[in-house]
């Protein structure tokens, strides 16, 4: 794209902003507001509106002095902070609001010719359509901008701003018979018709949105970091002060009835008002339309330059500039066509409400960006101009609150439309950053605060209430996925999980790069499966040294890891010796130990989880039951159930069954008593054979083991379960209570 020769200083930002602020609403609707809801109600609107616009002006100024701002104004700021996808979404909404604003101001411009319409009606008994003025005015404005561009627009802007300020000055110098007899202050009880407050607010709010017009010139500014803060904040604050004085002047100069019913009541108050107020209205509306028609195409051009739209041809068309200043001719052409449609069909009040919603969304987003940057404390965020986090937060909250107060339905529709557009754009630009980019620093801060709090309080560790915090270590992550699945089941609702892929190597640059690439693959794999556990890699020269490091790691949830999970292939258990050799090391860290025997065949979830309890290792029973309950909360197991089996001598059948039923009932566990099976020990048949027989179709089989058994039987303890599928061996370091 051709480089833009930047030629504007601070003055165009200020004059474009102030001309839009002191625009059509000032002349046509402020008297209506004072007459309808009273002077106090109007002042309240001014204050509430500036609780949105002043924080926004400060937020824009702050972000503009933190980084180089290019064409597109607020769009550039949002897209470089929230990411191109959400930036394109809000930028497009803002473009539409500014393009529609052009029509709004041209329609309002037509009202300056009200005396002409009245004269024609009275003289010729003919009602001249407003479009007889608005459409030619729109055509003239389009021709000027398309032919001459921004430079001539700025020259015209200075003239109309001069006329505008002259009209306001004459208004303040004027007096009426009413003002001679009226009190100079506000009368008591000057709030009225407050049920119409937010209707009037929606109509008036576009009067305070001029900062967008000034910021929209960002691509043409020599020094945006200086011009945007100085121009927008000065214009916003000066506009607020002028509106407060105008409210006072209107209140003391005309009756509420005249204010509410005569939209050109200011012409009856000002010196030579019959000439200068329509002239001021014409100047203000023309200058506002001029500001909007200069700003909107530059947003469209920036959107096209970032290839925001799904069509490459359309992106190229709107991004193309003209001349050495890269004038957005094509974008201006589209904006003019769109404005023509609304000029022909639009109504001032209805269009004002539409504009209000779009501006509120944009301003709220800008304030939220500023707040999140403050909260996230990103060291790369070093703006020359600094706002305060609480000012930005107020701006965001007020934007959202005012939208809902104006119309909850329109607010939900506006937000819904933005979500749909965002999803549509994201579908075409999947490689671009999404909403998550701006929230990362804030998440880091929240995570740090929570981690420190949990470490200080240690409430979870001091409590006897158990929940699993499992760390799994494996070097076979890409060969078998069962450990991945098990950790996901545990982490879905009740537990926490950390998966660590072991790279057996000495630490080096090559090993570190390998670990980084492996981690990216694992994260993608987890993302596809929608896993909810943390993933990492570790480089260590041996399995034992890796275990020694891992058992000392803090838990990512804030509570210490309390369970370690190993995994082996049932059909080729070559790594079992490594696991067995490190059993004592894990026990020294007071870890519960789970060893998963993986089977490649698919899991039969409908058959549920089978728990096998033996009196010889009864200390594992509670942990096995609780672990199974946690796993069962995952949607994969939603149609499953837990079945408990116990093998005992014939004379203990009823006693053992009663104890298990009492344990289940006391613990309020969702295990049906019909799923408790007490099996009589049969002579000559081993426990393994019984498990193979009854749990052949189980989705997961859970079996306990003791350290003494492991020392004696070694690998034999874990093999021989050929007919069952996945089997989890559990060893509790202490008796876990079921409360």
Closest by alpha carbon to 738, among 621, 643, 641, 642? Answer: 621
What DSSP character marks residue 570?
A: T
Helix (H) or strand (E) holding 363: helix 348-376
Q: Is a pLDDT exceeding 80 seen at residue 384?
A: no
More confident residue, 291 or 134: 134
| 35-to-141, 202, 239, 250, 416 alpha-carbon distances in Å | 33, 16, 21, 9, 35
Copy the structure tokens of residue 261.
């019913």
pLDDT tier at 2 (50, 70, 90 boundaries)? very low
Tell me what pLDDT residue 614 has. Answer: 84
Contacts of residue 495, defined as CB under 8 A and 6 or more positions apart, other chains included, come to 467, 468, 469, 470, 630
Rounded CA-CA distance 584/733 in Å is 11
Q: Is 326 left (phi over 0), alpha (psi -120 to 50) or beta?
A: left
Copy the structure tokens of residue 36.
């309808």
Rounded CA-CA distance 286/107 in Å is 10
Copy the structure tokens of residue 303.
């959107």
Helix (H) or strand (E) holding 662: helix 653-666
pLDDT tens digits, 446-480: 766 776 666 566 554 544 567 888 999 998 888 88
Rounded CA-CA distance 421/214 in Å is 26
Rounded CA-CA distance 359/488 in Å is 43
Copy the structure tokens of residue 456.
């200080």
Q: Is a pLDDT exceeding 80 seen at residue 708?
A: yes
More confident residue, 490 or 8: 490
Tell me what pLDDT residue 1 has. Answer: 41
Q: What is the mean pLDDT of residues 551-568?
A: 84
Question: Using CB atoms within 10 A of its CB, is residue 650 exposed (0-12), middle (13-18) or buried (19+)?
Answer: exposed
Q: Is a pLDDT exceeding 60 seen at residue 188?
A: no
| 609-to-636, 645, 651, 699 alpha-carbon distances in Å | 12, 11, 27, 6
10-436 and 458-731 share one fold: no
Contacts of residue 255, defined as CB under 8 A and 6 or more positions apart, other chains included, come to 35, 178
The number of residues in the chain equals 739
Tell me what pLDDT residue 67 has. Answer: 65
Q: Could you tell me which CATH number the domain at 458-731 has?
A: 3.40.50.12370
What value does the mean pLDDT of the chain take?
82
| 728: β partners | 596, 702
Contacts of residue 79, defined as CB under 8 A and 6 or more positions apart, other chains included, come to 72, 86, 87, 88, 91, 306
| 683-to-64, 491, 650, 723 alpha-carbon distances in Å | 83, 41, 11, 21
Copy the structure tokens of residue 111.
């009202």
Q: Is a pLDDT exceeding 50 seen at residue 3?
A: no
Rounded CA-CA distance 692/695 in Å is 6
Q: What is the mean pLDDT of residues 551-558?
A: 78
Do 78 and 60 touch, CB atoms closer than 8 A? no
> How many C-beta atoms surround the C-beta of residue 432 within 10 A?
19
Helices (runs of H) and strands (runs of E) counted in the chain: 29, 10
DSSP, collapsed to helix, strand or coil, labels residue 378 as: coil
**Residue ranges of domains in the chain:** 10-436, 458-731
Copy the structure tokens of residue 238.
């000066």
Tell me what pLDDT residue 161 has. Answer: 80
Phi and psi, residue 702, nearest 5°: -120, 125
More confident residue, 112 or 32: 32
pLDDT tens digits, 519-552: 998 888 877 777 788 899 999 999 999 999 988 8
Do 667 and 736 touch, CB atoms closer than 8 A? no
Question: Using CB atoms within 10 A of its CB, is residue 445 exposed (0-12), middle (13-18) or buried (19+)?
Answer: middle
More confident residue, 360 or 616: 360
Do 228 and 13 touch, CB atoms closer than 8 A? yes
Assign 3-state DSSP to the chain and report helix, strand, coil percentages, each to 5.
65, 10, 25
pLDDT tens digits, 586-604: 988 889 999 999 988 788 8
| 567: β partners | 596
pTM, 2 dp: 0.65
pLDDT tens digits, 48-81: 999 999 998 888 888 777 766 666 666 777 777 6
Q: What is the DSSP string of 397-420?
A: HHHHHHHHHH-HHHHHHHHHHHHH
Phi and psi, residue 415, nearest 5°: -65, -40
Do 138 and 315 touch, CB atoms closer than 8 A? no
Residue % of the chain over a pLDDT of 70 = 86
Tell me what pLDDT residue 462 has. Answer: 47
Closest by alpha carbon to 141, among 345, 297, 325? Answer: 297
Copy the structure tokens of residue 656.
């053992």
CATH architecture of the domain with range 10-436: Up-down Bundle (1.20)
Q: What is the mean pLDDT of residues 310-327?
A: 82
Do 161 and 18 touch, CB atoms closer than 8 A? yes
pLDDT tens digits, 414-433: 788 888 888 888 787 776 76
Rounded to the nearest 10°, the torsion over CA 500, 506, 510, 516 is: 10
Rounded CA-CA distance 105/354 in Å is 14
The winner for highest mean pLDDT among 271-280, 311-320, 717-726 is: 717-726
The answer to whether the Cα torsion of 578, 583, 585, 591 is positive or negative is positive
Q: Is 487 left (phi over 0), alpha (psi -120 to 50) or beta?
A: alpha
Q: Is a pLDDT exceeding 60 seen at residue 280?
A: yes
Rounded CA-CA distance 161/193 in Å is 34
Place of tokens 């000065």: 234
Closest by alpha carbon to 79, among 362, 356, 310? Answer: 362
pLDDT tens digits, 195-229: 889 888 888 888 887 776 666 666 667 777 778 88
Q: Is a pLDDT exceeding 80 seen at residue 444?
A: no
């Amino acid at each position: 794209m051709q480089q833009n020769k930047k030629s504007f200083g601070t003055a165009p930002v200020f004059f474009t902003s102030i001309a839009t602020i002191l625009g059509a609403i000032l002349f046509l609707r402020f008297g209506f507001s004072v007459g309808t809801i009273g002077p106090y109600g109007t002042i309240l609107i001014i204050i509430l509106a500036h609780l949105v616009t002043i924080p926004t002006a400060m937020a824009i100024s702050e972000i503009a002095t933190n980084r180089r701002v290019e064409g597109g104004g607020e769009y550039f700021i949002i897209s470089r902070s929230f990411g191109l996808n959400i930036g394109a979404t809000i930028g497009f909404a803002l473009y539409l609001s500014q393009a529609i604003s052009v029509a709004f101001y041209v329609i309002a411009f037509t009202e300056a010719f009200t005396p002409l319409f009245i004269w024609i009606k009275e003289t010729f008994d003919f009602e001249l359509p407003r479009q007889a003025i608005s459409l030619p005015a729109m055509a003239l404005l389009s021709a000027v901008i398309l032919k001459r561009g921004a430079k001539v627009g700025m020259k015209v802007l200075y003239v109309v701003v001069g006329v505008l300020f002259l009209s306001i000055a004459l208004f303040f110098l004027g007096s009426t018979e009413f003002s001679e007899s009226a009190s100079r202050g506000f009368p008591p009880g000057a709030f009225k018709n407050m049920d119409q407050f937010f209707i009037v607010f929606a109509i008036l709010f576009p009067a305070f949105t001029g900062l967008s017009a000034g910021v929209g010139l960002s691509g043409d500014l020599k020094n945006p970091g200086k011009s945007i803060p100085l121009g927008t904040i000065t214009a916003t604050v000066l506009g607020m002060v002028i509106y407060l004085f105008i409210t006072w002047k209107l209140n003391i100069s005309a009756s509420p009835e005249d204010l509410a019913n005569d939209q050109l009541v200011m012409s009856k108050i000002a010196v030579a008002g019959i000439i200068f107020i329509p002239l001021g209205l014409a100047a203000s509306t023309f200058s506002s339309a001029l500001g909007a028609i200069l700003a909107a195409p530059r947003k469209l051009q920036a959107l096209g330059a970032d290839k925001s739209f799904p069509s490459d041809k359309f992106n190229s068309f709107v991004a193309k500039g003209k001349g050495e200043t890269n004038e957005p001719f094509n974008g201006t052409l589209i904006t003019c066509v769109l404005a023509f449609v609304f000029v022909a069909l639009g109504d001032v009040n209805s269009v004002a409400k539409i504009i209000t919603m779009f501006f509120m969304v944009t301003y709220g987003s800008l304030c939220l960006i500023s707040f999140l940057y403050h909260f996230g404390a990103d060291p790369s965020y070093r703006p020359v101009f600094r706002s305060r986090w609480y000012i930005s937060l107020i701006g965001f909250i007020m934007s959202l609150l005012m939208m809902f107060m104006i119309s909850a339905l329109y607010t939900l529709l506006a937000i819904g439309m933005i979500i749909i557009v965002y999803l549509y754009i994201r579908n075409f630009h999947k490689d671009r950053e999404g909403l998550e980019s701006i929230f990362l620093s804030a998440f880091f801060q929240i995570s740090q605060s929570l981690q420190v709090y949990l470490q200080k309080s240690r409430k979870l560790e001091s409590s006897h209430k158990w929940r699993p915090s499992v760390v799994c270590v494996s070097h076979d992550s890409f060969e078998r996925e069962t450990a991945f699945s098990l950790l996901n089941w545990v982490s879905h609702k009740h537990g926490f999980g950390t998966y660590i892929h072991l790279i057996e190597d000495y630490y080096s640059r090559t090993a570190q790069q390998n670990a980084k690439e492996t981690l990216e693959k694992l994260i993608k794999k987890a993302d596809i499966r929608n896993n909810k556990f943390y993933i990492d890699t570790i480089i260590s020269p041996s399995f034992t040294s890796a275990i020694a490091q891992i058992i000392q790691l803090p838990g990512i949830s804030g509570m210490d890891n309390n369970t370690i999970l190993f995994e082996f292939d049932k059909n080729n258990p070559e790594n079992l010796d490594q696991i067995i050799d490190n059993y004592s090391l894990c026990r020294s860290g007071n870890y519960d130990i789970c060893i998963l025997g993986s089977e490649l065949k698919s899991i039969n979830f409908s058959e549920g989880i089978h728990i096998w309890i033996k009196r010889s290792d009864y200390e594992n029973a509670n942990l096995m039951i609780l672990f199974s309950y946690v796993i069962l909360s995952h949607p994969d197991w939603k149609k499953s159930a837990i079945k408990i089996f116990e093998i005992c001598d014939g004379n203990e059948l009823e006693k053992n069954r009663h104890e298990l039923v009492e344990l289940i009932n006391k613990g309020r566990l969702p295990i049906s008593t019909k799923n408790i099976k007490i099996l009589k020990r049969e002579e000559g048949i081993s426990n393994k054979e019984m498990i193979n027989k009854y749990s052949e179709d189980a989705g997961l089989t859970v079996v306990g083991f003791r350290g003494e058994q492991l020392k004696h039987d070694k690998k034999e303890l874990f093999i021989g379960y050929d007919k069952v599928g996945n089997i989890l061996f559990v060893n509790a370091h202490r008796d876990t209570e079921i409360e």
